[in-house]
């Protein structure tokens, strides 16, 4: 499966140029934003961890080994990229136990920056946002055109596509999800099951969003749309009055697309017709997601870029800083700017 099948059209036209991302871990930095005041006491030890070229699951295993506890008592809010420098929270459930010596977990790829006790464990999805610092190196682009594109996405947001990393190499996760769906089976292994279910939902959402980008309605509310605020999981139906709500222009309120699961969508009008048409192209996948017990949810179609700033630390380096809601992809921002070169390549750039 190619990029266009997995994502969809760009909103702002062809890429301005090309560049490399993730030449080093420092070129892709992520800081989890967690608005939870820690009590300073309780059965749970929370850790603020810096990881370099290490995925979240392996970090959790190392922390569990060092603490001498089962992996199941280690929690985290979200998965972070391996090929990056990331800082995120973990928690360990330690009822009646003192803080363990975690020195054996630390090395250049993992550092524990601080720790604190709390009365509750860290839940998945508890973080409100992620802060990013991205460095695009080996940049080849017209700077004036790039400045115009950056200003446009700062003002108008971008399509909230799930990134290619959700789908595996060549869309392998989607291919596997379709195969399980056709057999009406679920993977036994929990991590694989979660990955394939997520890939299936994300693929269908991207299909809907791609259609809205193509017809120019991804930034607009249509009668029958279901609308949501940037940081809210609740939504409401759009009538004529809601379609002219000034918060749409302010990038506080957005149309949404479906995350398939059990239960009927309450979308109406052209929005309902589009969602039904996409579902009809993948009936096995839609049924599989519902039978897996996933609830029908909504995701905003438009992604506002919080606090977007940029500068050029070197003539061929563009540094971007911004904040995105949890579950949104920084690579979707880059995709509206440039094509990405694979590491070590200077010719025939590969689109990302």
CA dihedral 148, 154, 156, 158 (to 10 degrees): 100
Say which of 81, 245, 284, 316 is annotated catalytic. 81
Three-state DSSP class for residue 308: strand
**DSSP states of 186-245:** --SSHHHHHHHHHHHHHHHHHHHHHHHHHHT-TTS--TT-EEEETT-S--EE--TTGGG-
Has 81 been annotated as catalytic?
A: yes
User: To 10 degrees, what angle do helices 269-281 and 190-215 make?
Assistant: 130
How far, in Å, CA of 49 to CA of 89, rounded?
6
| Contact call for residues 235 and 190 (beta carbons, < 8 A) | no
Report phi then psi at 128, rounded to 5.
-90, -25
Provide CB contacts within 8 A for 90, sequence distance 6+: 46, 47, 49, 59, 60, 63, 74, 75, 76, 122
Query: Looking only at Cα atoms, what is the longest distance across the chain?
Result: 61
Inter-CA distances, 103 with 85, 137, 258, Å: 20, 35, 44
Q: Could you give the residue ranges of the DSSP H alpha helices within 85-171?
A: 143-156
Which stretches does DSSP call E strand in the chain?
17-21, 28-33, 44-52, 74-76, 85-93, 110-118, 129-141, 158-159, 226-229, 236-237, 253-259, 297-300, 302-303, 306-314, 317-325, 338-341
Catalytic residues: 81
């Amino acid at each position: 499966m190619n990029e266009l099948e997995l994502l969809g059209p760009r909103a702002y036209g062809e890429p301005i140029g090309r560049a490399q991302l993730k030449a080093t871990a420092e070129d892709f930095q992520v800081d989890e934003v967690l608005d939870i005041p820690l009590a300073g006491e309780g059965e749970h030890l929370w850790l603020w961890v810096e990881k370099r070229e290490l995925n979240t699951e392996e970090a959790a295993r190392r922390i569990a080994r060092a603490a001498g506890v089962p992996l199941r008592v280690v929690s985290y809010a979200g998965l972070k990229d391996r090929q990056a420098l990331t800082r995120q929270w973990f928690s360990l459930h330690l009822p009646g136990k003192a803080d363990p010596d975690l020195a054996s977990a630390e090395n250049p790829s993992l550092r524990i920056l601080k720790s604190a006790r709390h009365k509750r464990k860290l839940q998945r999805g508890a973080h409100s946002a992620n802060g990013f610092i991205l460095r695009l190196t080996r940049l080849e682009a017209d700077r004036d055109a790039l400045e115009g594109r950056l200003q446009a996405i700062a003002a108008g947001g971008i399509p909230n596509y799930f990134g290619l990393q959700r789908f595996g190499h060549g869309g392998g996760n989607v291919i596997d999800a379709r195969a399980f769906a056709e057999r009406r089976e679920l993977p036994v292994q929990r991590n694989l099951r979660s990955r394939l279910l997520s890939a299936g939902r994300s693929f269908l959402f991207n299909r809907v969003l791609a259609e809205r980008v193509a017809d120019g309605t991804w930034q607009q509310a249509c009668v029958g749309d279901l609308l949501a605020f940037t940081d809210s999981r609740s939504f409401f139906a759009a009538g004529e009055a809601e379609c002219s709500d000034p918060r749409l222009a302010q990038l506080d309120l957005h149309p949404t697309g479906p995350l398939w699961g059990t239960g009927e969508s309450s979308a109406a009008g052209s929005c309902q017709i589009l969602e039904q048409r996409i579902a009809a192209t993948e009936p096995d996948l839609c049924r599989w997601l519902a039978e897996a017990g996933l609830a029908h949810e909504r995701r905003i179609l438009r992604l506002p870029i919080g606090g977007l700033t940029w500068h050029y630390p070197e003539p061929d380096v563009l540094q971007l800083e911004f904040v995105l809601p949890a579950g949104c992809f920084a690579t979707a921002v880059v995709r509206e700017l440039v094509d990405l070169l694979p590491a070590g390549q200077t010719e025939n750039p590969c689109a990302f």
